Structure 1
Amino acid sequence: MGDFRPLGFLLGLPFALLALILAIVGAVIWLIGTILSCLCPCCVCCAALANLAMDVVQLPVRILRWFIDEIPC
Structure 2
Amino acid sequence: MKFIVEAFDKENESLDFEVVLPNDCEAQLAKIMNWSSPQRGDEGYNLSSTQLSSIEALAGKCFCDDKHLFQLTCNVS
Query: Which category describes the TM-score, using the shorter chain as reference length?
Result: under 0.3
TM-score norm. by structure 1 comes to 0.28
Which has the larger share of strand? 2
Flag the structure with larger Rg.
1
Which has the larger share of helix? 1
